[in-house]
Amino acid sequence: MDAFADPTLLVNTKAGTVRGSRDGNTHRWLGIPYATPPVGELRLKAPLPVQPWTGVRDALEFGSAAPQEPTKVIPLPVGVEINEDCLNLNVWAPPRAEGDTRQRPVMFWIHGGAYFIGFSAQPVYNGRALAETGDVVVVTINYRLGALGFLDFTSFSDPADPFDSNLGMRDILLALNWVKDNIAAFGGNPDDVTIFGESAGAGCVTTLMTMPSAEGLFHRAIAESSPATSVYKPERAALVAKAYLDLIGVEAKDAAQRLREIDAVTLAQQTTHLLDYVATTWPGTVAFAPIVDGDLIPGYPVAAFRAGKQIKVPLIIGTNHDEAALFKMMKSPLMPISESSINEMFELVAKDNPKLKNLEPGIIAEYPDFPKQKGGMEIARDAGFRMPSIWVAEAHSKVAPTWMYRFDQAPPLMKLLGIGASHATELPYVFGTLPDRLSEKKALQFRLGGLKEARQISQRMMARWLSFARTADPVTVDSETGQDLAWPRYDELSRSTLIINGTDTIENDPDGDIRKAWGEEVLGFK
């Protein structure tokens, strides 16, 4: 039965009816708008709810991706365009038999990409396997990125018509409200939502957990490689925004007008240059990030966690063993790995936090491979992802169930190339989007084998993530013995950590000496 003749693919949202399609045994609706297009006078403004439509709206193709510079690392799928009208989302849901009124758990995905690239149409984020395997409803979203989503131009706007702050975060918040209002029509439970994300998406997750306006919109959270400390104060944000204006040749006095006149694609063309400029001028920081505006984001997220002011929902949080290898491979300065850039990073941290100025020698002493590149990559990994995740886990474990993991899995070729379990390599394991037998030979990372083991690991990861979404307990069962593969909660006494590799193992306080060397104070930039 095709989409036009199948009534189960017609869903009535509050804005209008959408028609979906079948993806195997799963139903899906793609490119559903959740906001009014943020264009014209609405550019650099908080998003508004989507305007209602009449008739049936086809939701058969992915919507437009947010304005960004095209990259070979994340190629656009055929048919997907870059457009400022990008506030759309996708839904995958198991088919419902006649009379089936169950409301299934919802998994709400926030993609990564350093807050300036990425989109929900990336094949790795296909929600079909999670929906089919776990009997859940999966939602993936697009949100504003780069200059239009994560630069703060509020200090350059017209007081009579001011720009808003944290536009990308406001988009995600509106998408969560859309889920609250509409997901029941797709068979999802609006009172049983798990948010999950990776990299910048995980940074959005940990930031959302400290936003009062997000209270009640989600009930569990998963943060994969969160740069939780990469959230900055307005004064620093204004410096970065001014550097961007200089790159695009706009005077500060003209910014309020020119930022609405310039084509969105043109605005995106300087994002990589700004990223590189910021990463080399202030090593250890990123150009695009959420801002502590005192409104949507009242304070620094990690500080909020430590003060017990976060939203107290169950949390899975973790990192990959070789996070920095991706940035080395891409030759990106986003993570400082050279001796000079790491030394400068510590100097800048001490300048921001004078009481931390004597920590550097003790930390570096725990990395015997430094100043060689291997040691630099380990320091960058821990500064950017591992320690921020530990600081969040420590604090959150005092007020809510918390689980911590480390993803160590890498196919033989990736180990041979020195890439290992790099940043983002866990994604196809989580989504069940590893290569199938038809595409196995085209998958570079498995040229030397390892795919069979990878599929087994993927099954366990999916089972844990899905069990968490359904029951708030990330347990799974050994396929051979039938025994539960329990995952002890994280706390400051045991620091139990799931090591995800060929087999699941539990280590208490892995690399504890390194963790202790970083100390009790949060090292980050304001």
With CA atoms as reference, report the closest residue to 136 among 180, 101, 186: 186
Query: What is the per-residue pLDDT for 46?
Result: 98
Query: What is the per-residue pLDDT for 441?
Result: 58
Instruction: Report the C-alpha gap between 496 and 510 in whole angstroms.
Output: 8
Instruction: Report the C-alpha gap between 288 and 361 in whole angstroms.
Output: 30
What distance lies between CA 430 and its chain's CA centroid? 13
Question: What residue spans of 386-505 are helical by DSSP H?
Answer: 387-396, 412-416, 427-431, 451-471
Contacts of 43 (CB under 8 A, 6+ apart): 84, 148, 259, 260, 264
Instruction: Report the C-alpha gap between 422 and 381 in whole angstroms.
Output: 10
Question: What residue spans of 135-230 are helical by DSSP H?
Answer: 146-149, 167-182, 200-208
Instruction: Report the C-alpha gap between 93 and 197 in whole angstroms.
Output: 19
Query: What is the per-residue pLDDT for 1?
Result: 45
Ordered per-residue pLDDT tens for the chain, 526 residues = 455 558 889 999 999 999 999 999 999 999 999 999 999 999 999 999 999 999 999 999 999 999 999 888 899 999 999 999 999 999 999 988 777 888 999 999 999 999 999 999 999 999 999 999 999 999 999 999 999 999 999 999 999 999 999 999 999 999 999 999 999 999 999 999 999 999 999 999 999 999 999 999 999 999 999 999 999 999 999 999 999 999 999 999 999 999 999 999 999 999 999 999 999 999 999 999 999 999 999 999 999 999 999 999 999 999 999 999 988 777 788 888 999 999 999 888 888 777 666 778 889 999 999 999 999 999 999 999 999 999 999 999 999 999 999 999 999 999 999 899 999 999 999 999 999 865 555 678 888 999 999 999 999 999 999 999 999 999 887 767 767 778 999 999 999 999 999 999 999 999 999 999 998 888 776 6
Instruction: Report the C-alpha gap between 44 and 152 in whole angstroms.
Output: 9
What distance lies between CA 159 and its chain's CA centroid? 33
**β-bridge pairing 188-198 and 315-320:** unpaired
Bond into 388 cis (ω within 30):
no
Asked whether the beta carbons of 245 and 337 are under 8 A apart, the reply is no
Give catalytic residue positions: 199, 323, 423
Query: What is the per-residue pLDDT for 6?
Result: 82
Query: What is the per-residue pLDDT for 330?
Result: 73
Asked whether the beta carbons of 275 and 334 are under 8 A apart, the reply is yes
Query: What is the per-residue pLDDT for 445?
Result: 87
